[in-house]
Amino acid sequence: MTLHALLLAAGLGTRLRPLTDHLPKPLVPLFDRPLAAYALAELKRAGVTHVVANTHHLAATVDPALRPWAERLGLTFDTRFEPQLLGTGGALRNVLDAMTDPFIVYNGDVLATPDLAGALALHRASDAELTMVLREDPRAARLGAIEVNARGEVLRILGEGETPREPVKSCLFTGIYVVSKRLSGLLPAEGCVVRHTVRRLLSSGRRVAGFVDPGLWHDLGTHAAYAEVHRAALDGALAPLRGYAAENALAAGVTAPAGVSLSGCVLGAGVRVEGAGALRGVIAWPGVTVRAPLENAIVGPFGVVLGEKMVERA
């Protein structure tokens, strides 16, 4: 069965500036590839054959960065430009003509290992119009809870809806979901699919499913979160990145000169190391020069972003 996906790649990535002044957040490098390349691999694993990425911020960079990764996986790849940001609901509406029924929507700026086959199975079995991939989180009540029962039915979102008369799990939305095209009439031209469409579905008694997924999920939306994922991968703690477990991850040909020691560093292709002393917890984008000593920093064409707590290694 043919299956398509929308990769959300249009956002401004404001919390990650100045990194996102140079690349859209789905393209920021995570080890040897763009962040969204990991999403493409998950979509391929779920049986997706064609991916459309919506674009807006630095739109011209998305296709050349992601098409080669899609083609390596055997996926066909297109982009759909948004002259103005449409929000998630508008983005869905804007690509319906290119999608299968159902299709997957995947946030391009998260690192996750969702059970998409399980989410698709629940979507079909429940005849839902939209199935949200959720994760249990103790912060859900504070950050915006999605309440789902044991049958996978979403009962309340963001505190709205009738108080459940049965046990529920209080979850957060992962930004990944399965969509049926029959909800097209409820999609806004602009706006958030959760706050607009899901609310209307629930208020009208239509089916919204919630698939509670225990898999890995990281939002790389801040400097600290971006650095922490690199640190955890070097420690061997992240399943999709276990191949990078090492004291340091250096691209081919990148070396440290005599007098420079490395600890917990990720140095991309073409990085030049200069100076003397320790480089500790440094993430360097391809092609930049890094001068020792330097600790807990992200280095790129934007300069050096420092953060005392960005990387904490024992």
pLDDT at 16 over 50: yes
Residues with Cβ within 8 Å of residue 64, at least 6 apart in sequence = none
Q: What is the mean pLDDT of the chain?
A: 89
- Mind listing the pLDDT tens digit for each residue in 39-98? 999 999 999 999 999 999 999 999 999 999 999 999 999 999 999 988 888 898 899 999
Q: Which CATH class is domain 4-219?
A: alpha beta
Total Cβ atoms within 10 A of residue 127: 9
Question: Which of the 8 DSSP states describes residue 192?
Answer: -
- Mind listing the pLDDT tens digit for each residue in 240-286? 777 788 888 999 889 889 999 999 999 999 999 999 999 999 999 99
The rounded distance, in Å, linking the Cα atoms of 45 and 73 is 9
119 with 213: CB under 8 angstroms? yes
More confident residue, 159 or 277: 277
Torsion sign, CA atoms 291, 244, 223, 54: positive
Domain residue ranges in the chain: 4-219, 223-306
- As beta bridge partners, residue 217 has 112
Query: Distance from first CA to last CA of the chain, Å, rounded?
Result: 48
Helices H / strands E in the chain, number of each: 7, 19
More confident residue, 5 or 238: 5
Pairing of strands 169-179, 217-219: unpaired
What is the DSSP track for 143-179? H--EEE-TTSBEEEETTBSPPPSS--EEEEEEEEEEE
Q: What is the dihedral of CA 146, 147, 148, 149, to 10 degrees?
A: 180
Q: Is 92 helix (H, G, I), strand (E, B) or coil?
A: helix
pTM (predicted TM-score):
0.90
Residue 166 is predicted with a pLDDT of 76
What are the DSSP E strand ranges found in the chain?
4-8, 29-30, 33-34, 50-55, 76-81, 103-107, 110-112, 130-136, 146-148, 154-157, 169-179, 208-212, 217-219, 249-250, 260-263, 266-267, 272-284, 289-300, 303-306
